[in-house]
Amino acid sequence: MSEDKKGKPTPKTGEISAPKKMEVARGYLGFFSATLQNMPVATPEFFKRHAGKSFWDIAEEMMHDAHIQSVFRSRRAGVAGRNWEIVPADDSAKGSEVAARIKSILAPIPNFEHALAHLLKATPYGHSVIEIMWRIDPDRVSVEALRTRRADRFTLGSQNTLRLLDSETGQPRDLPDRKFICHRHDPQDDAPFASPLLFSCYWPWYFKKHAHGFWMIVAEKFGVPSIIGKYPSHFTDDDVSSLIKALVNLQQDSVAAVPADTVIETALAKVSVGEKGNFFRELLDFCNAEISKCVLGGTLTQEVGEKGSYAAAKTHQEVRHEIIAADAQLLQTTINSTLIRWLTDFNYGPDVPAPVFQIDYKQSRGTPEFATTLKTLSEIGMPIPQRFVRETFGIPEAAEDEEVLEPRTQGIPFKERSPFEKPPDAS
């Protein structure tokens, strides 16, 4: 261990410095006050519409939209709710030992699944960050907790180095090595902040937001009858004011007192609010469909619609699964290149191959379609363990003398029976 100019110890080449235990990103820094000069939607019209706001202000407002929140939650849940496993780097005893230790470190972390779900917020925002709270025990280095951090508190430098914006000065400062995990969506070498998917949802959200407001105006104007008060020509201004107040009371409380010679009429719109609302409904449906396609790859995973069908919905679900698989693989790459690699280095050294963190992102197996597939595979002679079938469909082992469902084979030719049945006794 050598020393730098200030006399502080620095690791030699090939050495792994001790993990930083102290919490670094404590505190809170509000949204950036700067505008979006470097963002793709940063046009003069955009600045005019959102004067004084940053991307994070607008992103938070967009995420308050019920449909946007729903589609991103659905996409995130498709990965965050999956089982995960630590696979040894090789078939050696050492590889199995390293994998078992890394798993024993990850399993007790109280918020590990929550931290994975937080990293997936990189999809809408472009990047996400968690801070590792290391714990140095006598026999190993482990993780005490994973602290989720707001992405707007961090910036990425030209070399993709993560920097923390100081909570007091707002200026970026360097961070300790192997302390923070930064996950990026659709990363590119020359685009540190990657590609926030909310950019692609901006225009559908913007038009939808204003369509809602106009629709409410239509509902107010044409959904409630207007009350007209006709007053004699001798009414003074005070009399007219009193009449207007009486009509307002009549509109709200259905009670009013007016002169005997005053005529009160109600006027209903010739065009119903439903007819006028169809245009706004179609516009809102179109905007929601565009958002669904952007985030989930299709619309029928969220809403079927008039022209929807089971086949089309199934196709869209398959597209959604491909997106979920891509998200899971990208998250695996981030975890393996950071947390898993760092734990291996701290506990075994940089020369030991690190195990692999894997997420089970395969499609659900306990479905009627999968049962049909099992039947077909069995018919062509593939041996299928009974244990696998039980685990897949959640079927417990029958206890001794317990009643079980009998297969319906009486009167059915043997060649048409279930492939799981034994052939009849030849005798």
Q: Is the pLDDT of residue 350 over 80?
A: yes
Residue 142 φ/ψ, nearest 5 degrees:
-130, -175
Cβ atoms of 70 and 322 within 8 Å: the answer is: no
| Token pair of 325 as six digits | 């698989």
Per residue, the 3-state secondary structure of 199-261, as one string, reads: HCCHHHHHHHHHHHHHHHHHHHHHHCCEEEEECCCCCCHHHHHHHHHHHHHHHHHCCCCCCCC
Contact residues for 395 (Cβ-Cβ < 8 A; gap 6+): 389
pLDDT value, residue 158: 64
Encode pLDDT of 153-164 as tens digits. Answer: 888 776 778 889
Contacts 24+ apart (CB under 8 A), 206-214: 207/283, 207/287, 208/65, 208/67, 208/283, 208/284, 208/287, 208/288, 209/65, 211/280, 211/283, 211/284, 211/287, 212/280, 212/284, 214/280
Structure tokens at 240: 């007219």
Q: Is the pLDDT of residue 44 over 70?
A: no
CA–CA separation, 121 and 109 (whole Å): 20
What is residue 92's predicted lDDT score, i.e. its pLDDT?
93
Supply 320's token pair.
């959604």
In 265-340, alpha helices (H): 273-296, 310-335
- For residue 112, the SS3 value is helix
Q: Is the dihedral of CA 232, 234, 240, 246 positive or negative?
A: negative
Other beta carbons less than 10 A from residue 184's beta carbon: 23
pLDDT at position 314 over 80: no
- Choice between 297 and 261, residue whose per-residue pLDDT is larger: 297
The mean pLDDT of the chain is 76
**Ramachandran angles phi, psi of 91, nearest 5°:** -90, 5
Contact 181, 193 (CB under 8 A): no
Do 79 and 361 meet the contact criterion of CB atoms below 8 Å apart?
yes
Is residue 272 over pLDDT 60? no
State residue 34's pLDDT score. Answer: 38
DSSP-assigned letter for residue 149: E
Q: pLDDT higher for 1 or 132?
A: 132
Which pLDDT value is given to residue 301?
A: 47
Token reading at 181: 């995990």
- What is the reported pLDDT for 191? 62
Work out the pLDDT band at 337, boundaries 50, 70, 90. very high
- Gap between the Cα atoms of 37 and 23, Å rounded: 32
Q: What is the pLDDT of residue 303?
A: 54
Of 116-125, 199-208, 378-387, 405-414, least confident by mean pLDDT is 405-414
Q: Judge contact between 264 and 228, C-beta under 8 A.
A: yes
Q: Where does 37-178 show beta strands of DSSP type E?
A: 84-87, 127-136, 141-149, 154-156, 162-165, 172-173
- Find the DSSP H helices in 64-106: 66-80, 93-106
Query: Which band of pLDDT confidence, cut at 50, 70 and 90, is reported for residue 47?
Result: low
For residues 15 and 9, the answer to whether their CB atoms sit within 8 Å is: no
